[in-house]
């Protein structure tokens, strides 16, 4: 697995003066989403994944990241959409999230990675009550980029370990009772 | 030095020492061994020394009295009676309380605590005072040092017994001196003829207890200060006839410090306290020693290798630094060498150990890669080398893992106290029998198993063992027995808590469960299933809610704790005879010996120690079982269980595993051979995942999942070591 | 509290040490306080001394009391030589030395 990009933190320092935050934009099912780069550790090519049985659809499996076993989520499935198809540009974004005080490293599968952009706070609007077709708690805001809206994801919620843990519990129980 | 960290260590160590002391005291009750007494003394002595380092004077003061009493016991001057043991146990508790206060941040003595300790001190002193034949109130000081108000002493002091102008003789007569027809007294008399004995100390440490003492063996030693004009050769000449069988060290007057230092190092007594030794050597007087002890208690002391007493003495100008240094080294040695095998262990930070094990794990993975590449490259030299490397890595792995394994005996022994106290509290006569103390398990598991086990033991005492009258009626021995047993079984450690009490009342349990709505009244359940109901939350059939258990919050918490360790718990009982609770825990090794199997596109690992054998797949038509040498072997199709949808191979295989006495087959696509590697936990997201217990990284970098065989067996076939889920 | 009395006469030396040990230990076991009269002791050697020391040690270990009384000159001489007064803890009447 080769690292396609290591997010540079220096860039953050530079833009701090202007008060805008930096986001990584990516494609998922034809739509553009974004995640704040502070949470992102690295981005790698998709190359083989070990499926873990009896887990919910949105947990695609695990990968070996330099000796650490990291779970990989399929955001499309997480948003209730059909599972992501593996393509040439499919990538895994490695994100560090806070799970009840513990740091967890999770990989997120995306169709393609776009650029890192600056979005000034003035250009960020609150999440809509409905209409975005994904759960509102997953959205931390709507960023205006080039006249279009980009959904800024709340990674702690999207990748909520406790929620996923519970989901896994349900699917395992279901199997037990068969 | 980080004082906080050091204080934490002190608290930890003191707790361990108090535990040792308690165990030794309880053992002394039974075995009455010399070794127990030494252990008890060592514990108190070490706590006192460490407390002194931190200026915890109230602890030093209390422990000092305890230590003095123990010193007398050790010397055979005081007997270890039951009364004394109970008193010392109370002292242990008091010290425990003081340590707890320190941990809570209260380093100054608490007046209430001091008040609690006062009666203990009174009793301690009373025991010692009985043998106080006018030897003074500080038993730690050498009883051999002359007292000022005794006529014999006065006479010698009048003569101005400074040692600086006298020779110093250190004399130890050999055991056969008397049998050889010599008499130490005559030698000393002769010394008196060539000079003037200005100071003499008779050493009787070596005289054993009466039953061991041989009247014809010489046990005496002497430290003598001699003023004389004779030269060294003449002095030595006095002892010419016993030169072969005794040890004699002579130091000239105004001798160089190095000589005194060497003398101290060579003194044979193992029990010498620093103060006593210096006094014996005539370097300081008793009065100076007492002052120094007092000053030490006031001032607190310097850390590290130099115990404070020496520093204080030097500070007061009472002793030469170099001599003190040597005496301290000697004292440290003597304290250390009195510990038998224990001193050969060191304290290791658990995090460092974990780091080491992780690194070893990585080493194994990389080693496997190297091996794989070597095989692919088909270079025989390289292959040989990597094979040797793998062997060595395996040895390192085994050693590293051993570091984390501890014997469960220590945990079991803690329960002696629990049983002792609880039984007394509720007025039952109960003994604890322990077996399998040498069974080893991972340190982290040991730490977490303590609480659940405690509850199980208390339960057995409280509810299991019947009151004495009932036992008598039933013709059982009045003393009830709780038994703790541990052993290894196919990759797990099994701990049994059993009692010879009245057993579980099947009907009452069922009735209670129906009452609590846990079970439908007409449900048919086996005895084992009914007994398992006691682990349900909110369940308790105890008629009286006692202090300990019976509040109905116990057994379900026990089960939860054990399940959190990926273990299982079950109960069996025979009415009138007793109950046994069986806890099964995985050995939780960080590194696993596994067997690789292929399933679909993935590779899975089956723990090697669960595997009995591997056979070709064949089944009785339409059923999920096969014929294994005449026996029915049920199997589970993992493809079905895991929802694998790739086309199956032409020939599948069955891995026969054993768990809790049952044999089950796992149907897999392919068998890929043995493999050892480190277990990588899967993270919280996967905590509810039942059939997978972890993951590992193969030589080719792929991730393989480790099968949780007990869970799979439980899922697939209904044969389970756990109580099945009840109707919600 | 019963007080036992025993007197030692003659030589307190290696030839009688074994017997004297048995005697003293036996007497000690019989009473809480044992008074040993040494007025008749004519000679003391190291073995004899050890027997007395053993008796004292045993007494302490068993919470009993051993009292030495009537130290004869032979006994006194040894006690002074080795400065054992404090060790045994009994009152010594230091009279004029016998020849």
Q: Which residues of C touch B216 (CB under 8 A)?
A: 14, 17-18, 47
CB B603 within 8 A of CB B673: no
Structure tokens of A113? 């990675």
Which pLDDT score, from 0 to 100, does residue C37 have? 92
Q: How confident is the model at residue B587 (pLDDT cuts 50, 70, 90)?
A: low
Q: Give the model confidence (pLDDT) of B231-264 as tens digits.
A: 888 888 888 888 888 888 887 776 554 555 556 5
Distance of alpha carbon B429 from alpha carbon B434, whole angstroms: 17
Mean pLDDT of B302-315: 46
Cβ distance of A50 and B702 shorter than 8 Å: yes
Which pLDDT score, from 0 to 100, does residue A16 have? 44
Distance of alpha carbon B543 from alpha carbon B137, whole angstroms: 54
User: Is the pLDDT confidence value at B335 over 90?
Assistant: no
Tell whether A53 lies on the interface with B, counting CB pairs under 8 A.
yes
Q: How confident is the model at residue B145 (pLDDT cuts 50, 70, 90)?
A: very low
Sheet (strand B167-172) strand order = B196-203, B221-227, B167-172, B247-251
Which pLDDT score, from 0 to 100, does residue B47 have? 86
Tell whether A158 lies on the interface with B, counting CB pairs under 8 A.
no
Tell whether A161 lies on the interface with B, counting CB pairs under 8 A.
yes
Domain boundaries, chain C: 3-88
Tell whether A71 lies on the interface with B, counting CB pairs under 8 A.
yes
Q: Which residues of B touch A58 (CB under 8 A)?
A: none
| Rounded (10°) CA dihedral B170, B175, B178, B184 | 10
Tell whether B130 lies on the interface with C, counting CB pairs under 8 A.
yes
Which pLDDT score, from 0 to 100, does residue B669 have? 93
Higher pLDDT, B598 or B359: B598
Residues 188-227 of B with CB under 8 A from C: 188-189, 192, 197, 199-202, 204, 207, 209-210, 213, 215-216, 218-220, 222
Which of A28-42, B30-44, B345-359 reaches the highest mean pLDDT?
A28-42
CB B310 within 8 A of CB B326: no
CA distance to partner chain B, nearest, from residue A5 (Å): 21
Instruction: Identify the closest residue of chain C to B212 by CA–CA distance.
Output: C54
Mean pLDDT, all residues of chain B: 75
Mean pLDDT of B573-577: 87
DSSP run (H or E) holding C76 = helix C73-81
Q: What percent of chain B has pLDDT over 90?
A: 7
Which pLDDT score, from 0 to 100, does residue B255 have? 58
Q: What percent of chain A has pLDDT over 90?
A: 19
Choosing among B187, B198, B210, B214, which should be mutated to test the C contact, i.e. which has the most C CBs within 10 A?
B210
β-strand A112-119 against B591-599: which pairing, if any? unpaired
Hey, which bits of B600-716 come out as E strands? Answer: 602-607, 611-616, 625-628, 631-637, 653-659, 662-668, 670-678, 692-697, 703-707
Mean pLDDT of B327-354: 62
**CATH class name, domain B408-586:** alpha beta
Structure tokens of B536? 């349900």
Higher pLDDT, B382 or B676: B382
Higher pLDDT, C37 or B538: C37
β-strand A148-153 against B196-203: which pairing, if any? unpaired
CA distance to partner chain B, nearest, from residue C80 (Å): 7
**CATH class name, domain B591-717:** mainly beta
Tell whether B728 lies on the interface with A, counting CB pairs under 8 A.
no
Q: How confident is the model at residue C99 (pLDDT cuts 50, 70, 90)?
A: very low
B137: Cβ–Cβ under 8 A, 6 or more apart, which residues? none
| Rounded (10°) CA dihedral B50, B53, B57, B59 | -10
Higher pLDDT, B161 or B468: B468
- How many residue pairs from chains B and C have C-beta atoms closer than 8 A? 118
Cβ distance of A52 and B705 shorter than 8 Å: yes
Which residues are bridge partners to B626 per DSSP?
B633
CB B173 within 8 A of CB B203: no
Q: Give the model confidence (pLDDT) of C14-31 as tens digits.
A: 889 999 999 999 988 888
Which pLDDT score, from 0 to 100, does residue C53 have? 92
Q: Which residues of C touch B177 (CB under 8 A)?
A: 46
| Rounded (10°) CA dihedral B243, B244, B249, B250 | 20
Q: How confident is the model at residue B604 (pLDDT cuts 50, 70, 90)?
A: very high
Q: How confident is the model at residue B663 (pLDDT cuts 50, 70, 90)?
A: confident
Q: Give the model confidence (pLDDT) of A48-84 as tens digits.
A: 788 888 888 889 999 988 778 899 999 888 888 888 8
Which pLDDT score, from 0 to 100, does residue B666 have? 92
Structure tokens of B474? 């039933």
Choosing among C21, C35, C61, which should be mutated to test the B contact, i.e. which has the most B CBs within 10 A?
C61
Residue in the structure block whose two tokens are 């440490």 = B205
Mean pLDDT, all residues of chain C: 85
- The fold for domain B3-129 equals 1.20.120
Tell whether A52 lies on the interface with B, counting CB pairs under 8 A.
yes
Q: Give the model confidence (pLDDT) of B377-407 as tens digits.
A: 888 888 889 888 988 887 887 787 778 778 8
The reported pTM is 0.46
DSSP states along B321-336? HHHHHHHHHHHHHHHH
Neighbours of B695 (CB within 10 A): 24
Q: Which residues of A touch B701 (CB under 8 A)?
A: 64
Higher pLDDT, C83 or A18: C83
Q: Give the model confidence (pLDDT) of A124-174 as tens digits.
A: 888 877 777 788 888 888 888 888 888 899 888 888 877 887 777 777 766
Task: Give me the residue from B365, B600, B715 closest to A67, CB to CB.
Answer: B365
User: Is the pLDDT confidence value at B219 over 60?
Assistant: yes
Phi, psi of B567 (to 5 degrees): -115, 180
User: Is the pLDDT confidence value at B214 over 80?
Assistant: yes
Which residues are bridge partners to B99 per DSSP?
none
Cβ distance of A50 and B703 shorter than 8 Å: yes
CA distance to partner chain B, nearest, from residue A106 (Å): 10
Task: Give me the residue from B131, B153, B202 closest to C63, CB to CB.
Answer: B131
Instruction: Identify the closest residue of chain B to A55 by CA–CA distance.
Output: B689
Tell whether C1 lies on the interface with B, counting CB pairs under 8 A.
no
Mean pLDDT of A22-45: 90
Which pLDDT score, from 0 to 100, does residue B340 have? 45
Which pLDDT score, from 0 to 100, does residue A17 have? 42
Which pLDDT score, from 0 to 100, does residue B267 have? 60
Tell me chain C's radius of gyration from C-alpha atoms: 13
Cβ distance of B685 and A59 shorter than 8 Å: yes
Tell whether C87 lies on the interface with B, counting CB pairs under 8 A.
yes
User: Is the pLDDT confidence value at B716 over 50?
Assistant: yes
CB A73 within 8 A of CB A83: no
**Domains in chain A: ranges and CATH:** 3-176 (2.40.50.180)
Higher pLDDT, B636 or B128: B636
Instruction: Identify the closest residue of chain C to B214 by CA–CA distance.
Output: C18
CB B563 within 8 A of CB B547: no
Residues 138-157 of A with CB under 8 A from B: none
- The fold for domain C3-88 equals Transcription Regulator spoIIAA (3.30.750)
Q: How confident is the model at residue B156 (pLDDT cuts 50, 70, 90)?
A: very low
CA distance to partner chain B, nearest, from residue A123 (Å): 35
Mean pLDDT of B659-666: 82
Do chains B and A touch, with touching meaning 3 or more CB–CB pairs less than 8 Å apart?
Answer: yes
- Chain A adjacent subunits, 3+ CB pairs under 8 A: B
Hey, which bits of B19-98 come out as E strands? Answer: none
Q: Which residues of B touch C61 (CB under 8 A)?
A: 76-79, 209
Q: Which residues of A touch B704 (CB under 8 A)?
A: 50
Q: Which residues of B touch A53 (CB under 8 A)?
A: 641-644, 691-692, 705
Q: How confident is the model at residue B413 (pLDDT cuts 50, 70, 90)?
A: confident
Task: Give me the residue from C47, C79, C92 closest to B215, CB to CB.
Answer: C47
User: Is the pLDDT confidence value at A7 over 60?
Assistant: no
User: Is the pLDDT confidence value at B341 over 80?
Assistant: no
Mean pLDDT of B578-607: 83
User: Is the pLDDT confidence value at B162 over 60?
Assistant: no
Tell whether A175 lies on the interface with B, counting CB pairs under 8 A.
yes
Within B378-408, residue ranges assigned H as helices are: 380-404
Q: Give the model confidence (pLDDT) of B438-476 as tens digits.
A: 888 877 778 778 888 888 888 888 878 888 888 888 888
**Does the CA dihedral B135-B141-B147-B148 come out positive or negative?**
negative
Mean pLDDT of B2-26: 81
Neighbours of C72 (CB within 10 A): 19
User: Is the pLDDT confidence value at B306 over 50?
Assistant: no
Which pLDDT score, from 0 to 100, does residue B708 have? 86
Instruction: Identify the closest residue of chain C to B191 by CA–CA distance.
Output: C81
Domain boundaries, chain B: 3-129, 151-342, 350-406, 408-586, 591-717
Tell whether B691 lies on the interface with A, counting CB pairs under 8 A.
yes
User: Is the pLDDT confidence value at A14 over 80?
Assistant: no
Within A24-68, residue ranges assigned H as helices are: none
Choosing among A1, A64, A170, which should be mutated to test the B contact, i.e. which has the most B CBs within 10 A?
A64
């Amino acid at each position: 697995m080769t690292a396609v990009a290591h997010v540079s933190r220096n860039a953050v320092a530079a833009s701090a003066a202007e008060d805008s935050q930096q986001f990584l934009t990516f494609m998922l099912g034809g739509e553009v989403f974004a995640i704040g780069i502070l949470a992102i550790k690295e981005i790698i090519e998709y190359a083989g994944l070990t499926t873990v049985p009896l887990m919910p659809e949105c947990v695609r499996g695990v990968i070996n990241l330099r000796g650490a076993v990291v779970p990989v989520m399929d955001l499309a499935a997480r948003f209730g959409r059909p599972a992501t198809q593996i393509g040439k540009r499919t990538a895994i974004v490695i994100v560090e999230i806070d799970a009840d005080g513990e740091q967890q490293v999770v990989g997120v599968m995306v169709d393609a990675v776009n650029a890192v952009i600056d979005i000034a706070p003035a250009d960020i609007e609150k999440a809509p009550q409905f209409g975005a077709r994904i759960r509102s708690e997953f959205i931390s805001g709507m960023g205006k980029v080039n006249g279009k809206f980009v959904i800024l994801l709340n990674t702690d919620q999207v990748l909520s370990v406790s929620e996923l843990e519970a989901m896994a519990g349900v699917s395992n129980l279901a199997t037990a009772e068969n | 030095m980080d004082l906080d960290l050091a204080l934490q260590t002190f608290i930890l160590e003191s707790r361990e020492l108090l535990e040792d002391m308690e165990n030794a005291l309880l053992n002394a009750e039974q075995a009455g061994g010399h070794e127990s007494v030494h252990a008890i003394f060592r514990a108190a002595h070490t706590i006192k020394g460490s407390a002194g380092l931190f200026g915890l004077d109230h602890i030093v003061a209390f422990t000092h009295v305890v230590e003095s009493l123990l010193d007398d016991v050790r010397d055979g001057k005081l007997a270890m009676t039951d009364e004394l043991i109970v008193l010392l146990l109370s002292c242990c508790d008091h010290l425990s309380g003081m340590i707890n206060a320190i941990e809570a941040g209260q380093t100054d003595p608490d007046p209430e605590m001091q008040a609690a300790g006062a009666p203990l001190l009174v009793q301690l002193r009373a025991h010692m005072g009985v043998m106080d034949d006018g030897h003074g109130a500080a038993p730690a000081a050498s009883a051999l040092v002359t007292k000022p108000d005794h006529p014999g002493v006065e006479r010698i002091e009048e003569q101005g017994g400074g040692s600086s102008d006298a020779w110093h003789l250190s004399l130890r007569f050999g055991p056969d001196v008397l049998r050889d027809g010599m008499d130490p007294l005559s030698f000393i008399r002769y010394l008196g003829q060539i000079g003037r004995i200005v100071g003499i100390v008779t050493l009787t440490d070596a005289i054993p207890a009466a039953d061991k003492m041989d009247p014809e063996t010489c046990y005496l030693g002497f430290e003598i200060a001699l003023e004389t004009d004779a030269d060294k050769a003449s002095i030595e000449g006095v002892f010419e006839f016993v030169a072969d069988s005794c040890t004699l060290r002579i130091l000239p007057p105004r001798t160089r410090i190095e000589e005194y230092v060497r003398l101290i190092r060579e003194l044979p007594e193992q029990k010498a306290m620093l103060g006593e030794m210096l006094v014996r050597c005539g370097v300081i007087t008793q009065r100076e020693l007492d002052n120094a002890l007092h000053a030490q208690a006031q001032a607190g002391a310097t850390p590290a290798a130099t115990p404070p007493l020496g520093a204080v003495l030097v500070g007061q100008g009472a002793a030469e630094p170099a001599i003190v240094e040597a005496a301290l080294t000697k004292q440290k040695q003597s304290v250390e060498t009195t510990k038998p095998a224990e001193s050969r262990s060191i304290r290791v930070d658990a995090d460092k150990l974990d780091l080491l094990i992780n690194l070893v794990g990585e080493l194994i993975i990389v080693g496997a890669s190297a091996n794989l590449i070597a095989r692919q490259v088909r270079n025989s030299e390289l292959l040989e080398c990597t094979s040797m490397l793998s062997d060595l890595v395996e040895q390192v792995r085994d050693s590293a893992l051993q570091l984390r394994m501890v014997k469960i005996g220590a945990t079991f022994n803690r329960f002696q106290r629990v049983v002792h106290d609880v039984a007394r509290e509720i007025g039952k006569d109960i003994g604890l029998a322990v077996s399998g103390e040498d069974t080893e398990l991972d340190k982290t598991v040991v730490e977490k198993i303590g609480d659940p086990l405690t509850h199980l033991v208390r339960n057995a005492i409280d509810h299991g063992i019947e009151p004495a009258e009932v036992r008598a009626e039933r013709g059982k021995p009045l003393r009830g027995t709780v038994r703790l047993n541990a052993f290894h079984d196919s990759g797990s450690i099994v701990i049994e808590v059993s009692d010879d009490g009245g057993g579980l009342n099947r009907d009452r349990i069922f009735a209670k469960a129906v009452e609590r709505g846990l079970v439908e009244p007409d449900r048919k359940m086996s005895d084992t299933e009914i007994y398992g109901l006691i682990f349900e939350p909110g369940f308790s059939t105890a008629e009286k809610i006692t202090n300990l258990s019976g509040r109905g919050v116990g057994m379900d918490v026990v089960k939860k704790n054990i399940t959190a360790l990926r273990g299982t718990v079950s109960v069996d009982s025979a009415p009138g005879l007793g109950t046994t609770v069986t806890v099964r825990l995985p050995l939780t090794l960080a590194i696993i010996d596994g067997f690789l199997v292929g399933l679909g596109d993935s590779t899975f690992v089956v723990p090697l120690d669960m595997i009995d054998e591997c056979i070709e797949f064949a089944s009785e038509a339409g059923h999920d079982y096969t014929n294994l040498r005449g026996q029915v072997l049920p199997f589970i199709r993992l493809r079905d269980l895991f929802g694998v949808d790739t086309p199956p191979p032409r020939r599948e295989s069955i891995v026969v595993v054993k768990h809790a006495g049952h044999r089950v087959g796992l149907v897999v696509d392919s068998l890929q051979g043995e493999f050892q590697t480190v277990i990588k936990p899967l993270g919280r997201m996967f905590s509810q995942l039942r059939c997978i217990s972890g993951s590992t990284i193969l030589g080719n970098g792929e991730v393989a999942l480790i099968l949780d065989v007990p869970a799979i067996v439980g899922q697939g076939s209904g044969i389970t070591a756990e109580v099945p889920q009840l109707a919600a | 509290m019963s007080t036992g009395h025993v007197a030692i006469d003659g030589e307190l030396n290696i030839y009688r040490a074994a017997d004297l040990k048995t005697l003293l230990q036996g007497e000690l076991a019989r009473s809480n306080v044992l008074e040993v009269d040494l007025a008749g002791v004519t000679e003391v050697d190291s073995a004899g001394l050890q027997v007395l020391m053993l008796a004292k040690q045993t007494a302490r270990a068993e919470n009993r009391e051993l009292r030495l009384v009537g130290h004869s000159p032979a006994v006194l001489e040894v006690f002074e030589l080795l400065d054992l007064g404090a060790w045994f803890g009994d009152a010594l009447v230091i009279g004029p030395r016998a020849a």
